[in-house]
Amino acid sequence: MRNITSSELDETDFEEDTTMTSKTTMLVALVAGAAACVGNVASDDVADQASVGATSGSGGTSGSTGSGSGKGTGTGAGTGTGSTSTGMNLGGLVAHEWGTYTSVQSSIGETMDGMAHEDEALPSFVHGRSGTAKGDCNAKQLEFCPKGVTQKLETPVIYFYGEAKELTVKVDFPKGIISQWYPSASGFAPPIDATKGGTPAGGSMTWTGTLDPTLGDKDFPAVASSDIWAPSRHVNSVPLRVFGKPDESERFIFYRGLGGFDMPFHVKSTGATSLALQNDSAQAIPAAYLLVVNGSGGGHVMSLGGVGANGSKEVQTLGKDLGPDSFLAQAKAQVKEGLVASGLTSDESQAMVDTWERSYFKIPGTRVLYVAPREWTDALLPITIKPEPKELVRTLVGRVEAMTLGEEASVKEAIKGYQSNSLSETQVMAGLGRFAEPKLRRGAQLVKGTPALEAAANKLVQSAIFK
């Protein structure tokens, strides 16, 4: 990763937002505020958008939202079905964004702490707040070892279409910090402070540049075709050149980070083969998917439809497993369909499922993916784009790694094995995989009241923090 140097630090225009709070809370209040602030798309705007792609359902387009209050000129959960290409005469600026945020939830639906770890390596040209976090806790290039991290904000990318000789994009992250990004930013908050500690909060980032249709792959930093960065470039968007020292070019803006927040969607394990999905917000979730991936890379996927406002849904996890190739093809196709319905173009949707091929579809486990309501996205990541786009599609996919009753029993047994010296720390960590810390934190809850097991669990948690 490329690190911010001390000289660059002095030259960076930091922006503090004193209205942001670092307290880890539910986003329900923010969601309600964003929903109340967002207005309706004017009829002449809708007519203009017809040249880009027809929209249906709850609305696939929106204007930009204000960075402080989440105000905007449009609404919608992003259910458009049209597509955009750089060859169209758009008559204005269009922006499309996709990304994902990831949590681990216990069998009782609690969002677990311990999500600070880096698990998808990025190319070396990507900027970061720090090379190695304080204490070597591998926290996505944060300069300090954070606490209370319950969500990983992963790969939001923003594509642009049309024209913009002078482009400014500002994204706020009130409940987290943007720790990695590309191209270079013209300003960000909070200031880098290795002594800070605590839960990441009060983040923001600004980019300034211009759209330049003459740019192509030869002008971007080289990556291998197998790199996680590569799929995002397979989109027919207008590249941008971001002003800096030196200027940097790419087909999109990328950022990711860490936060301490809960979303109003929870997954509980209600039986050996059953889950309960709960939407605790006033907005309907347009699409959700159950993915059960086995140890051989195969599995089964179920399209669960939507989850209504303040609604719930019971799900059976049993299904006929497909082989790895068939499962991957089917899972990608189903999730892509939901992304296209959210307003993303076909190539943008394909880029997203290709980027997350390993994490979504190949890592063993039980997970639920869902398309977040647009109001949640605007509350989580208020955005301001100048000039204001005539169409702004924002699709975030929530990813919940669901700890089933069976998995929790296995974690408890692993702690017992470690305490009795029948399992080594290395064996325990290998068995728990990439989400060892949040799973062990749940294990510590399950063995509470048994001092020897509590001590073993806490020791494992501390080791997992620095893995």
Query: Tell me, what's the pLDDT at 137?
Result: 66
Looking at the fold, whether 19 and 102 belong to one and the same domain comes out as yes
Amino acid code (one letter) for 272: A
Question: Is 269 among the domain residues?
Answer: no
Residue 271 reports pLDDT greater than 70: yes
Question: Is 201 among the domain residues?
Answer: yes
Looking at the fold, whether 153 and 204 belong to one and the same domain comes out as yes
Looking at the fold, whether 380 and 459 belong to one and the same domain comes out as no
Question: Is 317 among the domain residues?
Answer: no
Work out the pLDDT band at 34, boundaries 50, 70, 90.
very low
What is the DSSP track for 54-98?
Answer: -B-TT-S---PPPTTT--BS---S--B-----TTS--SS-EEEEE
Query: Tell me, what's the pLDDT at 245?
Result: 83
Structural contact between residues 232 and 205, judged by C-beta atoms closer than 8 angstroms: no
Query: Tell me, what's the pLDDT at 272?
Result: 95
Question: Is 388 among the domain residues?
Answer: yes
> Which one-letter DSSP state was computed for residue 21?
-
- pTM for this predicted structure: 0.83
Looking at the fold, whether 124 and 158 belong to one and the same domain comes out as yes
Work out the pLDDT band at 138, boundaries 50, 70, 90.
low
Query: Is pLDDT larger for residue 137 or for residue 123?
Result: 123
As beta bridge partners, residue 293 has 299, 365
Question: Is 434 among the domain residues?
Answer: yes
- Are β-strands 203-211 and 167-173 bridged in parallel, bridged antiparallel, or unpaired? antiparallel
* Domain count along the chain: 2
Looking at the fold, whether 40 and 70 belong to one and the same domain comes out as yes
Query: Tell me, what's the pLDDT at 195?
Result: 81
- The last residue of one of the domains, among 349, 383, 400, is 400
Looking at the fold, whether 380 and 394 belong to one and the same domain comes out as yes
Residue 462 reports pLDDT greater than 80: yes
| CB-count burial class (<10 Å; 0-12, 13-18, 19+) for 84 | buried
Task: Give, in order, the Cα–Cα distances in Å from 50 to each of 10, 77, 94, 425.
Answer: 46, 18, 13, 58
Looking at the fold, whether 138 and 204 belong to one and the same domain comes out as yes
Work out the pLDDT band at 6, boundaries 50, 70, 90.
very low
Q: Which domain holds residue 124?
A: 2-261+374-400
Q: What is the mean pLDDT of residues 400-406?
A: 98
Looking at the fold, whether 454 and 434 belong to one and the same domain comes out as yes
| CB-count burial class (<10 Å; 0-12, 13-18, 19+) for 87 | exposed
Looking at the fold, whether 388 and 459 belong to one and the same domain comes out as no
- Top mean-pLDDT range of 127-141, 142-156, 221-235: 221-235
Looking at the fold, whether 88 and 104 belong to one and the same domain comes out as yes
pLDDT digits (tens, 9 = 90+) for 302-318: 999 999 999 999 999 99
Work out the pLDDT band at 408, boundaries 50, 70, 90.
very high
Query: Is pLDDT larger for residue 215 or for residue 42?
Result: 215
- Sequence-distant (6+) residues with CB within 8 A of 207 are 167, 168, 169, 170, 183, 184, 185, 186, 242, 253
pLDDT digits (tens, 9 = 90+) for 62-117: 333 333 333 333 333 333 333 334 444 457 999 999 999 999 999 999 999 999 98
Looking at the fold, whether 410 and 395 belong to one and the same domain comes out as no
Residue 207 reports pLDDT greater than 90: yes
Mean pLDDT of the chain: 84
Task: Give, in order, the Cα–Cα distances in Å from 240 to each of 85, 87, 164, 345.
Answer: 15, 16, 9, 19
Looking at the fold, whether 382 and 437 belong to one and the same domain comes out as no
For residues 61 and 392, give the distance between their C-alpha atoms in angstroms, rounded to a whole number.
5
Question: Is 241 among the domain residues?
Answer: yes
What is the DSSP track for 304-351?
Answer: EEEE-TT-EEEEE---PPBPHHHHHHHHHHHHHHHHHHTT--HHHHHH
Task: Give, in order, the Cα–Cα distances in Å from 109 to each of 281, 399, 401, 444.
Answer: 15, 13, 10, 16
Question: Is 68 among the domain residues?
Answer: yes
Query: Tell me, what's the pLDDT at 136?
Result: 57
Work out the pLDDT band at 120, boundaries 50, 70, 90.
confident
Residue 430 reports pLDDT greater than 90: yes
Amino acid code (one letter) for 128: G
What is the number of residues in the chain? 467
Work out the pLDDT band at 196, boundaries 50, 70, 90.
confident
For residues 121 and 140, give the distance between their C-alpha atoms in angstroms, rounded to a whole number.
9
For residues 211 and 220, give the distance between their C-alpha atoms in angstroms, rounded to a whole number.
14
User: Three-class SS of residue 122?
Assistant: coil
Query: Tell me, what's the pLDDT at 247?
Result: 95
Tokens of 465: 């923090």
Residue 464 belongs to what H/E stretch? helix 451-465
Question: Is 75 among the domain residues?
Answer: yes
Structural contact between residues 305 and 330, judged by C-beta atoms closer than 8 angstroms: no
Stretch among 71-75, 359-363, 454-458 having the lowest mean pLDDT:
71-75
pLDDT digits (tens, 9 = 90+) for 155-194: 899 999 999 999 999 999 999 999 999 999 999 999 999 8
Q: What is the mean pLDDT of residues 398-412?
A: 98
